[in-house]
Every structure is written in structure tokens, then in C-alpha cells.
Structure 1
């Protein structure tokens, strides 16, 4: 059975010895981050701070900070299990009548929307046990943490921000940081290329007075994770959560805005943004490992807060990688690999290493069958959704393990001829890129580190890898005990 809410997952982690309750007083300004950061680096448990100075609401952090906790959160042995389920659905699409990539993707979307994956509407939701309006609305009643010394203030860092496309009515759920300005307003860090920003621009183009927004804090872990998944604008994140959980997410109508919110959230903020109203947001210690600088962003006005009677406040922090978003993103990497293969079938595997913070570096292995195919893969990836923002794409042959960064570095250093194997283009880049002299537009690099042939201008014979012959390997393995080396290292196969 999937977790109904955050509390069930907390109970599960506690039963596994992977959650620690902290009863000593802690300060939400910087101290929680430092404690959580040390726990992360030690592969320690999730933390539930029960005595946050000045507040009567506990703070939960480091919820997803390991592969094991991510697997437990999504109730799988590994993220590849989800990828295999998705791949089986893609096989159904490919075997059916729709022709063309666009039609296949639309059919896949239709398949995902069937049966038990669809959200279910409920009333009398736990997230609305307490309703606060008017002067009762006070964000300072929540133990919102300040993460890093140069941050502009406290930030809500794990919100599920809910908006509706003004044209189609399709809801979107995304994780965007929110700087708290005062009792009832925050910044809304809608980066240029995210769906929430698209809804905001669409609302401005229509000259709407306001765009309604809801923000869910907490909920079942699959729903929280899907807020970070880069889905196409017309695919509902809650349907993906239903697919992951194998059971539909329960939603309930918000009290004062025309949006559906997770019924089992801990806290829900309701309100609006006004198109054209912006305010300086930042600096903020970001997942790049640098502070993102102050810039104007939309303002979120909180008009209502609903919550459980005794809520838990979930939060996270980011900084020099790896931090919690790395483990959340690695699941996305594995789950979305089948969708990449749907369009680029020669792709074998991908790796977005922590140091690349997802948009700076992508390593790709591919089955090469003709000259120039690596370039086709590089350009193809730059044409896929948010992969269009990737600063560096490295392509290697199919037999290279892209999960082994050392092997990739060895292949790249040996295989590239800088005069012919580097592709430099200009295009959209991530809002958080620190190197480009211009924001949101800059240069990107593709590296073809595959083996080259005569048709690609390589006039010599490509040298073979150095490997021991199999008969000698087997002979030495048989003699390993005789050589008296068992106590040092076991022979291959043991």
C-alpha cells in the first residue's frame, strides 16, 4: 500500500532506524542547515526537530538524502524498476496504431491517465482541519528556515506550488523556492523555462487581474518528488505520482482559490500573484554551490492558510553538491531514460553527476552505427524539454559505463580531437548559470568522445583497449589460493 501522507513515511523511516527525533532546542536560522548538512555528509538519518526555538511546529529535513530513502519513498527496489514499468507502457504505444513521435507521446499521456493512476477528489481533507484567514494569516507562525549566511531571509524550500494554465485549465505542480517578505507575502522564484513561469506569462498576456496559486507543504512522498520532475506542460504531475504509487492521489478543492490541492498535505497556502508585480528576490544559497544573486521575481500574496491540527513542516536546503535535490534528481534521470530512448533509440544510458547539478553536465552512452550519429544525439538532447538548457553533453560509446566518472574521463581524454570533436552552439541556458556574461542565453558544448572511423576523417586504425586474455584470467583465478593471495583479495567470480 502506498503511503497516504508524510506521517506514514516518517513512521516507516523510524521503524527502519533511519529517522532521528531531536528534542534539544535548535534555531531555524542557519543551525538546522548545519546539523542537516553534517548528517547528509555522514549518510545519516532523516531528522525531525521537535523543539524549534520560537515555534510549536516540528521541522522535518533530509527526507530524501540517500538512494535507500528515495527507494523507500517511492516503494521500489530501485528507480530502474519505475523505468521498466514506464518502458512497458511505451512498448504498448509503439505497438499500437499511432504513427509519429508526437502522436505516440500523446497516446502515452492517454495511457497514463487511465484507471487507478487518476487523482481522486475527496472532501473533509486533513489539510483543512484548521482554516486561517484575514489577520490570522501569518507566515512567521511557521518555522521557515534561513539556510545560509548570505540568504536574503527565510525561504520556503520544499513547496509544491500549484497553478492552472489560464488557457487550458491544466494544473501544474512545481517546486520553486519562496523568500518570505512579511506575514503574508513571499517571492515566487519561477525560473524562465518552468511551467509556472509560463502560466504567469500567459496570465499577463491575457491581462488577467491575478493568477491564483496554492502551495502545498508535505503530502505523500511520491507527490512531493513529482513536483521536481520536468514533465511536459500538459501532463499532470499528480498522474505521474499516481503511476509511481500505483494508486491515485487524493485531492481536495482549495478553500478560496479554484485549484485542487493534495488532501493529505500538512499545510496549504492559498493566494495569488498579480501579473506585472515584481520584487527583488535573493540572494539565495543555491544548488550550484554559489549564491544566486538578487533579481526581480513575482510576488505571492497569501490570503488563506489551511493546515492539519498538529502539522509537520517539511523543508530542505541546497548548496554545494551533493545535497538532497541530487537524490531526487537521480530518480528523474532513471525514470525519464525510456522517454529519451523513445525519441533517440540509440541512447544506452545517461548520467547526470552531482557535480554537474543536472543542467551543467550530462554523460551519454550510445550504440553508434553510422558517422556523425553522436552529433545527432547531442543535437537531439538539446531539443528535448529542459535538456535544452544543458551546458555540456558528453557522448561515449555503448560499452562505456557512464555511471563510472573515472572511466568516462579516461575515454574523453583519449578519444577527442579538439579540432573536430567539439560542438559549440548558442542558445537558452539555465537561469542559475553563473558563467555566462548574459542571463538565460549563452554558449553550450557538445563533446563527441566516441571512436571515429574513416568516414569521420580518422585515417588511422583505432587502437584496441588493453585487456588480459581470458585463458590467462581463468588460469590465474584457479591458482589464486595456491599463490596464497586469498587473504589479500578474492579472485574474480568469488
Structure 2
């Protein structure tokens, strides 16, 4: 809060117009803070923000997101919802805002756990929300009940544009920033993009949490090419017939797997980080009548079982080749 912009002016922010068909300038790495009017419990999510003029912006969130639920709760009370948009600050908080946490989880608590010390916060100027003290910019505002504006189009990670659609309208009440602030941004588009590496971090962290509830899971891989949550490869210890189908149903009921179009299960000895090998196994060694599970538009493939004897190199031949390789004169 070293500088208070008076009057607040979104036009002064170097927000990006990323793709030719985008509907305008967007904040692409915002931490959007809201709170429940009844419980006071906060939410921090990375939602898309489009800027309009000096003091208006739209907030695009999914209907099942924490921000959307808070907006509905404030609208039921016929009261304006306070919002704070943070740009920059501690990398742990930036990651936590887009992490696939269970409903009700505290994103700043996760950030503190990652940092191994609590994240310092400070109150906003025009509302009671608390935001990280290390923020580069803080944009404060109100969303009035029913206030909406057309947002988009926006170029997304699927390689096309999200069409224009109504979104929550934020009226800005204050903008503060540090002296000589850094303005964070990222570009969303076909992989690999920066968001893909944040998703891979979530993959590694979520594995440990996943194994608490499902100890039969050995490893997971969410390939960038499948937009992270679109496909998940899982190495599992199969215990009995039918347990893979039940595991698929359980995973589809929780984040981040609830949006997975494909869950591919392989045995614990298969390296799921070798996506090519997993897909080869699934296509060539699966019985379509026995090993496929459909749930609406979602598919699970049980490739944990093998039909016939697998091809394995003779250990004696392998040892001989390794021992005499230098004699063959092959420079590879």
C-alpha cells in the first residue's frame, strides 16, 4: 500500500490483450479474494478478469467455484459483495490460488504450509477483506446483486476461444500498489504454457494427499498435452476384480479428477511418466468388452491386466550385450 491511486484507474495497468480474437485486456494471473457473508470464511481463486475502462471489470468463474457460491450468497441477502484482486506477491500464494483444493480449504493456509511459515496479510482500504501483505497491486471493488456484463471472447488452452458470455460485474473502489511494482501475467494457450508447469506441481502435491484415501495408487501423470485434468494416467495395485471400476467412480467424484475425460489405469510396475508406453498398452492390450467403463462423456480404461505372456528381454542376452558393447564399434 505504498501508493494509493487517486482516482483508481484500471487503464493505468499494463494488462495483456493476448490473442487477436480476445475481447479486450485481461488480468491473467489474479488472486481473487471473496468471503462468505454468513460464516466469514474466505476464498482465494484464480479467476479470469477482463478490464473495462477506468473502474469496471468482469469476474468469470465457474458455477461450482467458491467465488460463484459467495456471489450467490451475497445476492440472496441483496447486498453488494466485497472483492479484492491481488496481483503478484509470494509465489506460494499464487500457486495456492489455482491449486485443486477441496471445497472449504484455506488457500492461504496451503501457501503458509508451502513456505513453512504463515503468510502475512493486511486489511483492504475500502472493505474488510485481508490480502497478502507482499502484493504488488491490490484492486478493491464491489459486485452488486445481479450486476453483469458481457465478457470475452478469450483464447484458451484448448486452442480456441471461449465465447463471449455474461459475467459478474465489479465496480472498482480502490487501487493500491508498491513503489516500482512488478506486474505479473501469463498467456493461456495450447501447451506447453506456464500454466502447465503449475499444474504439474499440483500433480506431485496431490499424489501424497491422494494416497491417504487411496493407498493402492502408486503414481499419477497428467500429461500437458491433455490439458492436465483432461486425462490422468494412474499406476495402481490391483487387489480384486471390480476395484478399478470403483476407484474410477471415486476419483470422478473429487477434484481435480471430476473433469477428467479419461482415466487410464495401469499396473504398479508400469511407468506412468512414460505416456507413450501407457497409451500403447491401453490400445493394444485391452479387452474392450471387459476393461472399459463409461460414465456419460467420461471413460475409464483398466489396463492393469495383461492377456498372454509379456515380452521380456532375456537377462543373459542383455548382460552379454552390455559387457561386449564396446567391441561392436557402434557409436550411439
TM range (shorter): over 0.9
Corresponding position of 2:144? 274
Whole-angstrom CA distance in 1 between matches of 2:84 and 2:247: 39
Alignment of 1:447-466 (within 5 A): 447-451=301-305, 462-466=307-311
CA drift of 1:420 comes to 2.9
Q: Secondary structure at the match of 1:446?
A: strand
- 1:132-156, CA deviations, whole angstroms, 9 ceiling, x for partnerless residues? 35xx111001111100000000001
Q: Which of 133, 143, 151 is matched with 2:22 structurally?
A: 151
Cα 1:264–1:410 change in 2 (3 A) is same
Aligned-partner Cα distance in 2 for 1:272–1:232: 26
In the alignment, the residues of structure 2 paired with residue 278 and residue 196 of structure 1 have an alpha-carbon distance, to the nearest angstrom, of 15
**2:329 aligns to what?**
484
Alignment counterpart, residue 2 of structure 2, candidates 129, 137, 141: 129
Structure-2 residue corresponding to 1:235: 105
Write out per-residue CA displacement over residues 140-184 of structure 1, whole angstroms, 9 at most, x where no aligned residue: 011111000000000011101011122221211111111112211
Aligned residue for 1:196? 67
Q: Which runs of 4+ in 1 moved over 3 A?
A: none
Q: Does 1:474 align with 2:328?
A: no
Q: Aligned residue for 1:209?
A: 79
Structure 1 or 2: more helix by fraction = 1
How far does residue 472 in structure 1 lie from its aligned partner after superposition?
A: 1.8
Q: Scaled by the length of structure 1, what TM-score is found?
A: 0.65
| Superposition deviation, residue 418 in structure 1 | 2.1
- Unpaired runs of 5+ in structure 1? 1-127, 427-442, 453-461, 490-494
1:178 aligns with 2:49: yes
Moved more, 139-148 or 336-345: 336-345
Alpha-carbon distance between aligned partners in 2 of 1:325 and 1:339, rounded to the nearest angstrom: 21
* Contact 1:282 1:293 (C-alpha < 8 Å) held by counterparts: yes
Aligned to 2:58: 187
Superposed CA offset, 1:58-85 (max 9, x none)? xxxxxxxxxxxxxxxxxxxxxxxxxxxx
How big is the shift at 1:328? 0.5
Task: Quote how far apart the aligned CAs of 1:296 are.
Answer: 1.1
TM-fit CA distance, 1:234:
2.4
Find the aligned partners of 1:383 and 1:398 in 2 and give their Cα distance.
Answer: 23
In 1, the alpha carbon distance for the partners of 2:105 and 2:237 equals: 30
How many residues align? The count is 332
2:98 alignment partner, SS class: coil
CA distance in 2, matches of 1:320, 1:263: 33
The answer to whether the 8 Å contact 1:132/1:305 transfers is yes
TM-score by length of 2: 0.96
